[in-house]
């Protein structure tokens, strides 16, 4: 760390947001311990702009406090504003202004935030501060804005698979000396994504001991957010980098070997299965994306995990995660208003309560309420798929996803929700809508076995709601999707049903929507 050389060196007030808890960021790496002040603030505005899960708030506040403590131990001066600190203005910009007034720094530095909303706040602050404000890059990501722009500007359509290959080459991950992919293929998905079998169960997971800091934070969260979403206990999260690294080691040693084949499986009562649970730590800054990719690559190199698992995991982090971020910054701020399918059904209360006769939705939402987590296929093919085919309003669905998951920040949540799950961006993220009937859910899970509805029925009182809603969705949007090369058979199946059956299916879909609105589905 550079130390100031003379007493005239400028004093910088350095803001660290809750999801920027990384010492390798220029914000910390370039700080002058002797003069600079690190500002970290728990504020109501950030804790309430959506109805965050209480576990997400507790995780972040505890991780922020541990990070502040580690910085102090390393010799930094930290101004830590707790939620109940006297004088807390309860906004990030308010806390910057207050610190500037009290400490008279020569300038303020912030790291580019992960949400357009906060970036706009920082830009607006520029003219209202007596000192300059510098926005530093977020160097934790593997694809810079310029690199993504150079890649995307050349193309008419942006597809993750091609982006991912470029990233593999750029970082030399799973590459032979001649630049070819290890094993001869870039993507081993055909070996992945098997249904859950009778013997599939979640492997053992780590649970970290709650120290005084975490216990204090949990009390604060109980007092301050009595009506918050979700359950606060049990609380298993890692809250320091050391603990997050243990979670990574545990994943690579015991779970990654089976990651690929179980990626799409779903089981009642099993929230995690073979997923890594690392997004919460990656997104908050406790882990770095390159180190988790390299850990998987090394495990493959040492023969501890098969290639399909290592490649599948690396593709999620080096490919999807970076691609999604590129999309966010390329298309915001207009992106959030996209709604090409003109979906307008209000978000039903069951997304918050989990109160429904549909086992798949009840399971996905109960995992969400309990863990502030559900795995990708539950997010995409259960709650996301339902929102898509029922025509739920994208903005309301987006706010729900942003609230309920411990890993949710707009840069990653929005393109996944609006683009991948809801096709509201008209195909920027997804080449076809991820719409599926009960048949898919029945194949990939055991949910249907304990459901009030029958997955094989489309019509009648016991018919699985996903079926009629699926066909009704495709029929409603025929003009848009009929020509899609990835949907060759669905419309011919629909046409073969004949008009009389089609009318019955549409009426059945309308009945499901009515039940949805009245809370009886």
Binding residues with ligand SF4: total (CB under 6 A)? 14
Taking a C-beta distance cutoff of 8 angstroms, is the pair 213, 54 a contact?
no
133 beta partners: 108
Segments in 36-159 forming alpha helices (H): 44-48, 54-73, 92-103, 116-126, 145-153
Residue labelled with tokens 């004093």: 11
Out of ligand DLZ, ligand SF4, ligand FAD, none, what residue 52 binds, judged by CB under 5 to 8 A for its kind, is ligand DLZ
Direct distance between the N- and C-terminal alpha carbons of the chain, in angstroms, rounded to an integer: 59
Of 415 and 465, which CB lies nearer to ligand FAD in the complex structure?
Answer: 415
Residue labelled with tokens 């406790």: 286
Out of ligand SF4, ligand FAD, ligand DLZ, none, what residue 42 binds, judged by CB under 5 to 8 A for its kind, is ligand DLZ
Q: Which residue in 445, 468, 482 sits closest to 516, CA to CA?
A: 468
Taking a C-beta distance cutoff of 8 angstroms, is the pair 122, 113 a contact?
yes
CA–CA distance, 386 with 404 (Å, rounded to integer): 17
Binds ligand FAD (CB under 6 A): choice among 350, 408, 424, 509? 408
Kindly state whether residue 451 participates in binding ligand SF4, applying the rule CB under 6 A. yes
Out of ligand SF4, ligand FAD, ligand DLZ, none, what residue 379 binds, judged by CB under 5 to 8 A for its kind, is ligand FAD
* CA gyration radius, the chain: 24
Kindly state whether residue 278 participates in binding ligand FAD, applying the rule CB under 6 A. yes
- Nearest distance in Å: CB 81, ligand DLZ: 9
- Nearest distance in Å: CB 358, ligand SF4: 4
Kindly state whether residue 358 participates in binding ligand SF4, applying the rule CB under 6 A. yes
Site string for ligand FAD, 412-451 (x = CB under 6 A): xx--xx--xx------------------------------
Kindly state whether residue 384 participates in binding ligand FAD, applying the rule CB under 6 A. yes
Binds ligand DLZ (CB under 6 A): choice among 57, 381, 414, 509? 57
CA–CA distance, 511 with 521 (Å, rounded to integer): 9
Kindly state whether residue 284 participates in binding ligand DLZ, applying the rule CB under 6 A. no
Taking a C-beta distance cutoff of 8 angstroms, is the pair 382, 361 a contact?
yes
**Interactions with ligand DLZ, residue window 400-459 (CB under 6 A):** 409
Kindly state whether residue 56 participates in binding ligand FAD, applying the rule CB under 6 A. no
Angle, to 10 degrees, between the axis of helix 116-126 and the axis of helix 92-103?
A: 30
Q: Is 396 helix (H, G, I), strand (E, B) or coil?
A: helix
- Which residues sit at the interface with ligand FAD, rule CB under 6 A? 275-279, 282-283, 313, 316-317, 320-321, 324, 375-376, 379-380, 384, 401, 405, 407-408, 412-413, 416-417, 420-421
């Amino acid at each position: 760390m550079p130390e100031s050389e003379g007493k005239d060196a400028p004093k910088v007030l350095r803001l660290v947001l809750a999801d920027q808890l990384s010492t390798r960021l220029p914000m910390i790496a370039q700080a002058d311990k002797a003069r600079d002040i690190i500002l970290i603030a728990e504020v109501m505005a950030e804790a309430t702009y959506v109805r965050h899960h209480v576990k997400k708030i507790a995780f972040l506040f505890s991780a922020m406090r541990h990070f502040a403590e580690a910085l102090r131990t390393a010799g930094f001066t930290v101004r830590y504003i707790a939620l109940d600190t006297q004088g807390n203005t309860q906004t990030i910009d308010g806390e910057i202004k207050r610190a500037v007034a009290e400490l008279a720094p020569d300038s303020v530095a912030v790291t580019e935030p992960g949400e357009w909303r906060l970036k706009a706040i920082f830009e607006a602050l520029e003219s209202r501060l007596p000192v300059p404000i510098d926005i530093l890059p977020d160097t934790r990501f593997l694809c810079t804005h310029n690199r993504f722009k150079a890649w995307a500007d050349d193309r008419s359509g942006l597809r993750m698979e091609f982006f991912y290959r470029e990233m593999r080459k750029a970082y030399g991950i799973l590459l032979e000396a001649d630049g070819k992919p290890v094993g001869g293929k870039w993507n081993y998905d055909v070996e992945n994504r098997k249904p859950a079998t009778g013997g599939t169960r979640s492997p053992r997971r780590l649970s970290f001991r709650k120290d005084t800091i975490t216990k204090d934070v949990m009390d604060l969260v109980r007092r301050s957010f009595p009506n918050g979403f979700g359950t606060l206990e049990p609380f298993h999260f890692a809250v320091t980098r050391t603990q997050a690294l243990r979670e990574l080691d545990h994943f690579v040693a015991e779970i990654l070997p089976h990651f690929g084949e179980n990626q799409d499986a779903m089981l009642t009562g099993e929230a995690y299965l073979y997923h890594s649970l690392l997004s919460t730590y990656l997104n908050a800054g406790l882990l770095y994306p390159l180190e988790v990719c390299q850990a998987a690559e090394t495990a493959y190199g040492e023969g501890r995990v098969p290639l399909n698992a290592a490649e599948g995991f690396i593709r999620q982090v080096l490919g999807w995660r970076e691609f999604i971020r590129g999309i966010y910054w390329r298309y915001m701020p207009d992106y959030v208003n996209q709604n090409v399918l003109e979906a307008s059904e209000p978000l039903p209360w069951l997304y918050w309560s989990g109160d429904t006769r549909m086992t798949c939705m009840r399971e996905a939402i109960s995992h969400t309420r309990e863990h502030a987590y559900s795995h990708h296929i539950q997010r995409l093919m259960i709650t996301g798929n339902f929102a898509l085919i029922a025509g739920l309003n994208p903005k309301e669905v987006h706010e729900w996803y942003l609230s309920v998951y411990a890993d949710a920040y707009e840069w990653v949540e929005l393109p996944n929700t609006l683009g991948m799950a809801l096709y509201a961006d008209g195909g920027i993220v997804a080449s076809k809508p991820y719409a599926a009937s009960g048949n898919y859910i029945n194949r990939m899970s055991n949910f249907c076995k304990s459901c009030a509805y029958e997955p094989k029925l489309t019509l009648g009182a016991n018919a699985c709601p996903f079926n009629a809603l699926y066909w009704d969705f495709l029929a409603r949007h025929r003009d848009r999707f009929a020509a899609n090369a990835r949907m060759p058979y669905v419309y011919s199946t629909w046409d073969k049903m004949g008009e009389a059956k089609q009318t019955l299916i549409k009426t059945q879909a309308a009945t499901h929507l009515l039940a949805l609105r009245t809370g009886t589905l």
